[in-house]
Amino acid sequence: MSQLLSGTDPQAIATAAALLRAGEVVAFPTETVYGLGADALKERAVAQVFAIKNRPHFDPLIVHVSDQDTVALYATDIDERAVALMTHFWPGPLTLVLRKRSNLPDLVTAGLDTVAIRVPAHPVALALLRAAQIPIAAPSANPFGYVSPTTALHVQELLGHAVPLILDGGPCTVGVESTVCALTEKQAVILRPGGVAVEAIEAVIGPVAFASPSQADARSPGTLLSHYAPHVRLRLLVPGEPIPCPAEGARIGLLLFKPHPHVVGYAVTEVLSQDGNLTEAAAHLFAALRRLDAAGLDAVLVEPVLEQGLGRAIMDRLRRATAR
């Protein structure tokens, strides 16, 4: 069983950094979700991350670094758009896909000639990066395809048997994965909506394109259709569709964006935001899915949210969770 240590304890950070430097895998908090980290320059350590997650080797990892200046060690062709986005959104939930340097093992990038890189906005993640002084390759700390963990306890439940140390940094404040933006072509392309709103990115670099689902699958495997999925069957209501009464005798759960006082008959109801706030809803999404999954339900109905700001990332994850 793994040790669970407070990420605010400098001794715990030092222990985690030493483990990483020795080629071990450590779970740590970021503002998006908890990550399963390894030294990005050590192929064996990275291979262990894939093994623990049961993650296919065609699915590249995001490389986390402590600051903007470090990016040039692992990526090339860092143009004005990249600098502008880094300056605006880092530390933060924006991952940039750039041309990779050859010092990064191919396993990290799944053989692609590009690298996905970001500076996370979590004090524990930043303290760990600074103490370890290595780039940390880290996917979400969950078995491949399942809902990402947003608390240290989630990680312990999912992977406690497989990692020596989990740093606890409290619940993740963003709660959905980073936005992935590719800058390898003239046209910036959003490969995955996430914690930074696309509108905010466009305000900095102008209009972006969206990868179509099939393109996204090839270029950004984290966008595989059935991803982030709980085990219970989910049905996403059509926008505007009234919330139906559940059939008698069935144990149906309800995942609501905001409170609906007159809805009755559901075995379990989860409300993502009391005042219909998309940012708050994103932060609560995965934990709510996890509770619904554990409630022994026959199915879960899901209220859609508006596809703007963080609503895009929420709907993206909900669609994947319902695609099976």
Shorter beta-carbon distance to ligand AMP: residue 61 or 302 = 61
* Least distance (Å) between residue 90 CB and Mg ion: 20
Shorter beta-carbon distance to ligand AMP: residue 110 or 268 = 110
Shorter beta-carbon distance to ligand AMP: residue 167 or 297 = 167
Q: Which residue in 126, 157, 319 sits closest to 236, CA to CA? A: 319
Note whether 222 and 180 are within 8 A (CB): yes
Shorter beta-carbon distance to ligand AMP: residue 30 or 273 = 30
Which of 220, 285, 293, 321 lies at the binding interface for ligand AMP (CB under 6 A)? 220
Cα-Cα-Cα-Cα dihedral sign, residues 262, 263, 269, 273: negative
Q: Which residue in 22, 35, 29, 36 sits closest to 8, CA to CA? A: 29
| 282 sits near ligand AMP (criterion: CB under 6 A) | no
Residue nearest to ligand AMP (CB): 222
Of 14-22, 110-118, 267-275, 276-284, the window that binds ligand AMP (rule: CB under 6 A) is 110-118
174 binds, among Mg ion, ligand AMP, none (CB under 5 to 8 A by kind): none
Which of 97, 131, 282, 292 lies at the binding interface for ligand AMP (CB under 6 A)? 97
Shorter beta-carbon distance to ligand AMP: residue 62 or 302 = 62
Alpha helices in the chain (DSSP H): 10-21, 43-53, 80-89, 123-132, 152-159, 198-205, 213-219, 278-293, 311-322
220: Cβ contacts below 8 Å, ≥ 6 apart: 97, 180, 182, 191, 192, 211
Shorter beta-carbon distance to ligand AMP: residue 116 or 318 = 116
114 binds, among ligand AMP, Mg ion, none (CB under 5 to 8 A by kind): ligand AMP
Phi, psi torsion values for 25, nearest 5 degrees:
-105, 135
Give Dmax (Cα) for the chain: 61
Three-class secondary structure of residue 202 per DSSP: helix
C-alpha R_g of the chain: 19
Q: How many residues bind ligand AMP (CB under 6 A)?
A: 21
127 binds, among Mg ion, ligand AMP, none (CB under 5 to 8 A by kind): none
| 179 sits near ligand AMP (criterion: CB under 6 A) | no
Q: Which residues lie near Mg ion (CB under 5 A)?
A: 140
Residue nearest to Mg ion (CB): 140
* Least distance (Å) between residue 66 CB and ligand AMP: 18
Report how far residue 120's alpha carbon sits from residue 172's, in angstroms, rounded to the nearest whole number: 12
| 254 CB burial (10 A radius; 0-12, 13-18, 19+) | buried
Report how far residue 172's alpha carbon sits from residue 290's, in angstroms, rounded to the nearest whole number: 15
219 binds, among Mg ion, ligand AMP, none (CB under 5 to 8 A by kind): ligand AMP
263-269: long-range pairs with CB below 8 Å, 24+ = 266/301, 267/295, 267/297, 268/292, 268/295, 268/297
| 229 sits near ligand AMP (criterion: CB under 6 A) | no
Shorter beta-carbon distance to Mg ion: residue 266 or 286 = 286
What is the residue whose two structure tokens read 């109905």? Answer: 301
85 binds, among Mg ion, ligand AMP, none (CB under 5 to 8 A by kind): none
Report how far residue 242's alpha carbon sits from residue 259's, in angstroms, rounded to the nearest whole number: 14
* Least distance (Å) between residue 233 CB and Mg ion: 21
Shorter beta-carbon distance to ligand AMP: residue 62 or 119 = 62
| 75 sits near ligand AMP (criterion: CB under 6 A) | no
Q: Rule CB under 6 A: which residues touch ligand AMP?
A: 59-62, 97, 109, 112, 114-116, 139-140, 177, 180, 191-192, 219-223
